[in-house]
Structure 1
Amino acid sequence: MDIPSLSPYAFKFGPIAVHWYGIFMAISIAVGGYYLYKQATKLNYDEDFLLNLLMIVVIFGVIGARLMFVLANYPEWFVKDPVQVFKIYEGGLSWHGAVLGGFLAGLYYCRKKGVRINPLEDFAVVGLALGNMLVRVGNIFNHEVLGRPTEFFIGRWPAQLVGVAIGAFLLIRYFYVQKKHMPDGYQFWSFIFYYQLLRGVFEETVKDVPLVWPVYLNEEWGIGLFTMTQVATPFILILAYWMIKRVLNDPNRQYYD
């Protein structure tokens, strides 16, 4: 969707401008963090540990998201315009970088403290799914992540809304699976699997991004194969599937309500 009348700014105070993108991101972090905190305290996790963990995951998640985005799209910024790298409020974050940065930092901290991470990464799914929905809405206000032009009446594919739908589906799925009493760790890795699958098949096919492996392009329908994300999709699916099988086959697996 590209709606020219939408402003990326929620409000301004003199030279200080608050972007809708940042507001939506903050809401998803706050809601996701609160949910993880409340659920983890029910399992008797230490409150100070949880607060420190959330702070670490958020910081390194944002760092990972920005670095991955810049490396994949504008690596020349590091040399020609380093200040641009820090302009997160203008948009430009990689979902995969956020998950990777937050996960690795959280894993390191949990191992350092001798704490199991599996239940915690499961609880993080709510924030990840909600974040995918709200950040895609922020993309609409920022006039980015546009769909490919088509010759249909819609003009462009509403790629951001496709992303919102994927996040909404996975959020609903999370609460449905919670009733199934699955072993801890399953929710997180199955979320990664289905998110990557749905994004690669639906969102990336209609998103207006370069094709790194141009196997197919239909300009009338506005669909194309393969983007960088689609090329990476099989590898991520294999990793996620392997982790799911590992969780399900772990003789020491634990369950939670």
Structure 2
Amino acid sequence: MFAALPLVLPFPDISPDIFRLSIGGFEIAPKWYAAAYIFGILGGWLMARWLVMRPRFWRNGKLPMTKGQVEDVMTWVTLGIVLGGRLGYVAFYQPGYYLQNPGEILAVWQGGMSFHGGALGVALAVGIYAWRKGISVPAIVDIAALVAPLGIGLGRVANFVNAELWGRPSELPWAVIFPGGAAQACANVGEFCARHPSQLYEAILEGLILLIVLWIVALRGGLKVPGLIFGLFLVGYGAARTFVEHFRVADAQYITPDNPLGHVVGTPEFGLTMGQLLSLPMVAVGLLVLLIARRARPA
């Protein structure tokens, strides 16, 4: 069946639904994408609880918050992810459409979430919570940065399972033949169109590798330098996302016959996608945070 592209991979036989169950005429079909959010938040909560129970990781052995406060702040984080992610998608990727259809802005079940919007939402939520409770803002954002790559990685794996946000056409041995007419709409590639599995690139770089690096730094005393982990997260995620955008297909609304790569700044040949335009400021802010953290580091 795939003789036209012998060195690429067929899409695995996996459904976006974890399972389907019909009860009394109602169908229950939980999604892997929803599970990624749930397990990401649950895993983040468990890691944060573990951190705040160990004084040796913190400056002068002073814990930044209690276990109860970790549980409280996770509620705020969840709201920040959902509301920020949705509103970020509306503002960054589809403002014109939602201005004409405001009733669909909160229709998250229709799809459409932005990581950058979710990150801003979380930052605002934890900032408000820290201010209200008198908790150190650098400490709470360091904890948030340490646990965030878990949810990011799981979310990108779920994007792959959903066969969405795929990459540009490729003939590499690990390129994947994604299903659907849109994924197969490649010119001059033969019978089938294989693409970069850019979702998995992001899962590895923004999720697994970033998680490992941040935890190595944290366990070696990084949490004793307020802001260090947060700065590293901003630089790491921003750089990884900027890199992967070279292999990922831009959102459809930005792609035209004259602008096939979907650049929003620059020329059709040399420019930035929306993902890069939103990620590069993260790198700049992260470098500034690292500079401030270094200067504040105790001798």
Q: State the TM-score, normalizing by the size of structure 1.
A: 0.85
After the TM superposition, which residues 30-49 of structure 1 pair with which residues of structure 2 at under 5 Å, given as runs? 30-42=42-54, 43=63, 45-49=65-69
Please point out which of 224, 228, 232 is paired with 2:278.
232
Shift of 1:148: 0.8
Is the 2:231–2:290 Cα contact (8 Å) retained in structure 1? yes
Matched position secondary structure for 1:235? helix
Shift of 1:73: 2.1
2:129 maps to a residue whose letter is Y
Deviations 1:23-68 (A, max 9, x none): 0111011001111122124326233332221111211221101111
Q: Does 1:206 find its partner at 2:244? A: no
1:159 maps to a residue whose letter is S
User: 1:41/1:87 Cα in 2 relative to 1: closer, same or farther (>3 Å)?
Assistant: farther
In structure 2, the residue matched to 1:9 is 17
1:180 maps to a residue whose letter is R
2:231 maps to a residue whose letter is W
Consecutive unaligned residues in structure 2, runs of 5 or more:
1-8, 55-62, 176-193, 251-261
Is the 2:116–2:278 Cα contact (8 Å) retained in structure 1? no
Task: Single out whichever of 137-146 and 87-96 deviates more from structure 2.
Answer: 87-96
Alignment identity in percent? 26
Matched position secondary structure for 1:149? coil
Is the 1:63–1:98 Cα contact (8 Å) retained in structure 2? yes
1:8 maps to a residue whose letter is P
After the TM superposition, which residues 85-164 of structure 1 pair with which residues of structure 2 at under 5 Å, given as runs? 85-89=105-109, 91-152=111-172, 154=175, 155-164=194-203
After the TM superposition, which residues 233-252 of structure 1 pair with which residues of structure 2 at under 5 Å, given as runs? 233-250=279-296
In structure 2, the residue matched to 1:170 is 210
Is the 1:65–1:93 Cα contact (8 Å) retained in structure 2? yes
User: 1:44/1:164 Cα in 2 relative to 1: closer, same or farther (>3 Å)?
Assistant: closer
Is the 1:90–1:142 Cα contact (8 Å) retained in structure 2? no
Matched position secondary structure for 1:86? coil
Consecutive unaligned residues in structure 1, runs of 5 or more:
218-223
Shift of 1:139: 0.4
In structure 1, the residue matched to 2:190 is none
Task: Single out whichever of 151-160 and 241-250 deviates more from structure 2.
Answer: 151-160
Alpha-carbon separation, structure 1, partners of 2:140 and 2:156: 25
Matched position secondary structure for 2:241? helix
Matched position secondary structure for 1:205? coil
Alpha-carbon separation, structure 2, partners of 1:126 and 1:36: 8
Alpha-carbon separation, structure 2, partners of 1:38 and 1:4: 36
1:226 maps to a residue whose letter is L
User: 1:151/1:225 Cα in 2 relative to 1: closer, same or farther (>3 Å)?
Assistant: farther
After the TM superposition, which residues 12-91 of structure 1 pair with which residues of structure 2 at under 5 Å, given as runs? 12-13=20-21, 14-42=26-54, 43=63, 45-82=65-102, 84-89=104-109, 91=111
Deviations 1:92-121 (A, max 9, x none): 321111111111111111112211122222
Matched position secondary structure for 2:30? strand
Is the 2:242–2:280 Cα contact (8 Å) retained in structure 1? no
Is the 1:3–1:140 Cα contact (8 Å) retained in structure 2? no
Is the 1:147–1:206 Cα contact (8 Å) retained in structure 2? yes
In structure 2, the residue matched to 1:221 is none
Is the 1:159–1:207 Cα contact (8 Å) retained in structure 2? yes
Matched position secondary structure for 2:235? helix
Shift of 1:8: 1.5
User: 1:58/1:20 Cα in 2 relative to 1: closer, same or farther (>3 Å)?
Assistant: same
Larger Rg: 2
Shift of 1:237: 1.6
Deviations 1:164-193 (A, max 9, x none): 111111111012212432312201111111
